[in-house]
A and B are shown apart, each in its own frame.
Chain A
Amino acid sequence: MKTFVALMKREILDGKNGYVWTPVILAGLTVALVAMSAAGFGNVIEFNDMEVHNIGNFSEMLARGMAEKPDDIPAGMTIAYWGMSVLTWIAFPFVVFFSLLGSLYEERRDRSILFWKSMPVADWMEVLAKLVTPIFVSPFIFLGVVIAAQLAIAILLSLVVIVQGGPVLALWPLGLMVGSWFSMVGHYMIWALWALPILAWVLLVSAYANRMPFLWAVLTPVVLMVVEELLFDTQTLAMWIGDHLAGWQGEAFAHIKDDFQGPRDVFATIIGNMQWDALTYSVSNPSFWIGLVIAGGFVFGAIELRKRAV
């Protein structure tokens, strides 16, 4: 276990730019943007389904919201904070993809594999560390940065509201914020397990390709899709990949009503039922399990290639 922790630490150190600096810079940028808008243009921030008139500044808007829809403000603020985290999360899938793609390729290219192999560390452990770190560790770094950014934004807005003399406490729906952080983790874990065969494929390519791993990773499935289309006039592979990347959620959440009654309703659904729906839908879905088996096969292949690589 000590060895595995050391390997994950090494992976994070190696991928520091992607895992740490990317979210820090993007979240910092977001906080800066919010600071500028909150200070200069108090009326830029909008709440979608609220009718707001004659807004003088941010505090006035908040006070009015509290007066008209007091139940929706906490959920609305939490969702707004997440909206302000989008910029950071956009980078996340790219970081995961390129970390996996380089993980077993770069060490062969720069020959550092010979140094890693001079240590008493099994190849399966190396490969698992290179799979687990981007998929199951790096999201927590991103989340940590996002949480810090959400708190920073809340503090900034609080300062503005204090100066303007508005209802500061409305900016701190802490219970909901903490709840949203946890449900985000839950939802991500299920998503990651669905996407695991695709992510493990990228890892396999990283162990296999001697050149141009990106083309191998992307073109191989594209060529297979085209061949399938031409030969059988079907799109099974494309559908399957789409399903595992995101499409499964359509089915899993199909029964959720889409006539939400304001932010509170949306939030209650996200935080309450969706995790459970996703979990029950996934474990009872053969495609979910088949995907995990395929992922296992790809990881096994990557380990075997790592054993032979010099």
Chain B
Amino acid sequence: MTENVIEARGLGKHFGDFSALKNVNLDVPLGRIVGVIGANGAGKTTMLNAVLGLTSYEGELKVLGHNPAKERDALMKDVCFIADVATLPKWMKVVDVLDYVEAVHPRFSRAKAMDFLSRTNVPLDRKVRALSKGMTVQLHLAVVMSIDARLLVLDEPTLGLDVIFRKRFYQSLLEEYFDEERTVIITTHQVEEVEHILTDVIFIRDGEIVLEADMDELTQQFIEVMVAPGKEDEAKALRPIRQSSTFGRATCVYKNIDRETLAKLGETRRLGLADIFVATMTGEGQ
């Protein structure tokens, strides 16, 4: 567990006056599934591009012992990624894609890819151009999941897929791909679909990491209480970070308050990651 996949110290990226990344320090160990969550333009893609050797940066960065800016090709033996746009070459046939990856990637298993594809409707002799958006993503996911990499970076991997496939994908990612020798980094807007598989989360805003936490610890910190009638004053006295009312009952959200204390006020439940993100970003959770 001591081996870090990513080690960043003072990582930064500037475009003229604009700072896409500011002084990011980050350690990501092996055997994690990390969710990177932030608004559009918060710097998620810039940070991941630096990790993948796709962009220059300031500061120090080591990914699996490599300097990504200088050794992208060596790094890509151990790292795999899907960018946030459709990138498979449209003029290639599905089988050409498999042939190419098989020829250039020493860790690619064609048998695995065929197995993944056999569970989809992707036809092998069709050109990528003629595939539906969902099929293109399925093909790309089948390719990367068949590469025995140690770091997999997925930038909005399930964009354009229907809900059934999304569920199935995250399930097979967890059951057939992930193990303690690999780390997966996921960015997505559909937070509720990934939160149950994440082990760690990173919140990022304006190029800075706002929060880096273990998923279990984080979700234990935030508790939502449906306040029982008559206990409103008591609830207010505990200083909730957010309150609202639904169906005529007050709902309060607390951070770092003992669950037993809160249980006396009414029904308690854990807060979803999306709500934690909003609470943190709006400053309520500070």
Residues on A lying within 8 angstroms of B by beta carbon are 2-3, 5-7, 9-10, 13-14, 107, 110-115, 117-123, 125, 307-308, 310
Within B47-104, the residues touching A (CB, 8 Å) are: 49, 52-56, 72-77, 80-83, 85-92, 96, 99-101, 103-104
Which chain A residue lies CB-closest to B53?
A: A117
Query: Do residues B83 and A3 form an inter-chain contact, with CB atoms below 8 A?
Result: no
Q: How far is the CB of B113 from chain A (nearest CB, A)?
A: 14
Query: Do residues B103 and A310 form an inter-chain contact, with CB atoms below 8 A?
Result: no
Query: Do residues A110 and B56 form an inter-chain contact, with CB atoms below 8 A?
Result: no
**Complexed CA–CA distance, A123 and B99 (Å):** 20
Query: Do residues A120 and B77 form an inter-chain contact, with CB atoms below 8 A?
Result: yes
Our pick among A13, A14, A112 for the contact of B88 (Cβ within 8 Å) is A112
* Chain A proximity mask over B100-127: 1 for CB below 8 Å, otherwise 0: 1101111000000000000000000000
Query: Do residues B54 and A310 form an inter-chain contact, with CB atoms below 8 A?
Result: yes
Q: How far is the CB of A1 from chain B (nearest CB, A)?
A: 11
Query: Do residues B83 and A6 form an inter-chain contact, with CB atoms below 8 A?
Result: no
Q: Within 8 Å CB of B82, what residues of A? A: 118
**Complexed CA–CA distance, A118 and B76 (Å):** 6
**Complexed CA–CA distance, A182 and B85 (Å):** 47
**Complexed CA–CA distance, A125 and B73 (Å):** 10
Our pick among A9, A14, A120 for the contact of B73 (Cβ within 8 Å) is A120
Query: Do residues A111 and B85 form an inter-chain contact, with CB atoms below 8 A?
Result: yes
Query: Do residues B87 and A112 form an inter-chain contact, with CB atoms below 8 A?
Result: yes
Residues on B lying within 8 angstroms of A by beta carbon are 49, 52-56, 72-77, 80-83, 85-92, 96, 99-101, 103-106, 140, 144
Q: Within 8 Å CB of A110, what residues of B? A: 89-90
**Complexed CA–CA distance, A9 and B105 (Å):** 15
Q: How far is the CB of A234 from chain B (nearest CB, A)?
A: 40
Given A6-B103, A114-B54, A119-B76; 5 other pairs, CB 8 A cutoff: A2-B103, A113-B87, A120-B104, A307-B72, A310-B55
| Given A120-B73, A120-B77, A310-B54; A115-B105 close (CB under 8 Å) | no
| Given A111-B85, A308-B56; A119-B90 close (CB under 8 Å) | no
Q: Within 8 Å CB of B106, what residues of A? A: 120
Query: Do residues A114 and B73 form an inter-chain contact, with CB atoms below 8 A?
Result: no
Q: Within 8 Å CB of A2, what residues of B? A: 103
Q: How far is the CB of B70 from chain A (nearest CB, A)?
A: 9
26 residue pairs bridging A and B, Cβ less than 8 Å apart: A5-B103, A6-B99, A9-B100, A10-B96, A10-B100, A13-B96, A14-B91, A110-B90, A111-B85, A112-B87, A114-B54, A115-B88, A117-B54, A118-B52, A118-B82, A119-B104, A119-B105, A120-B73, A120-B104, A120-B105, A121-B104, A123-B72, A125-B73, A308-B55, A308-B56, A310-B54
**Complexed CA–CA distance, A308 and B82 (Å):** 18
Q: Within 8 Å CB of B75, what residues of A? A: 120
Q: Within 8 Å CB of B99, what residues of A? A: 6
Sorted nearest first, the 4 A-B pairs with minimum C-beta distance are A6-B103, A120-B76, A122-B73, A115-B87
Query: Do residues B103 and A123 form an inter-chain contact, with CB atoms below 8 A?
Result: no
**Complexed CA–CA distance, A7 and B88 (Å):** 15
Q: Within 8 Å CB of B104, what residues of A? A: 3, 6-7, 119-121
**Complexed CA–CA distance, A117 and B104 (Å):** 12
Q: How far is the CB of A109 from chain B (nearest CB, A)?
A: 11
**Complexed CA–CA distance, A119 and B72 (Å):** 9
Query: Do residues B92 and A114 form an inter-chain contact, with CB atoms below 8 A?
Result: no
**Complexed CA–CA distance, A166 and B80 (Å):** 68
**Complexed CA–CA distance, A114 and B154 (Å):** 13
Query: Do residues B81 and A112 form an inter-chain contact, with CB atoms below 8 A?
Result: no
Q: How far is the CB of A213 from chain B (nearest CB, A)?
A: 18
**Complexed CA–CA distance, A13 and B6 (Å):** 37
Q: Within 8 Å CB of A7, what residues of B? A: 104
Which chain A residue lies CB-closest to B101?
A: A119
Q: How far is the CB of B74 from chain A (nearest CB, A)?
A: 7
Q: Within 8 Å CB of B91, what residues of A? A: 13-14
**Complexed CA–CA distance, A308 and B55 (Å):** 6
Q: Within 8 Å CB of A10, what residues of B? A: 96, 100
Q: Within 8 Å CB of B74, what residues of A? A: 120
Query: Do residues A111 and B49 form an inter-chain contact, with CB atoms below 8 A?
Result: no
Query: Do residues B92 and A13 form an inter-chain contact, with CB atoms below 8 A?
Result: yes
**Complexed CA–CA distance, A115 and B99 (Å):** 14
Query: Do residues B56 and A111 form an inter-chain contact, with CB atoms below 8 A?
Result: no
| Given A308-B56, A310-B49, A310-B54; A118-B89 close (CB under 8 Å) | no
**Complexed CA–CA distance, A121 and B74 (Å):** 8
Which chain A residue lies CB-closest to B108?
A: A119
Q: How far is the CB of B107 from chain A (nearest CB, A)?
A: 9
Q: Within 8 Å CB of B77, what residues of A? A: 120
Query: Do residues A111 and B83 form an inter-chain contact, with CB atoms below 8 A?
Result: yes
**Complexed CA–CA distance, A310 and B53 (Å):** 10
Our pick among B76, B81, B87, B105 for the contact of A111 (Cβ within 8 Å) is B87
Which chain B residue lies CB-closest to A122?
A: B73
**Complexed CA–CA distance, A117 and B56 (Å):** 15
Most buried by A among B82, B87, B144: B87
Q: How far is the CB of B93 from chain A (nearest CB, A)?
A: 9
Most buried by B among A112, A119, A121: A119
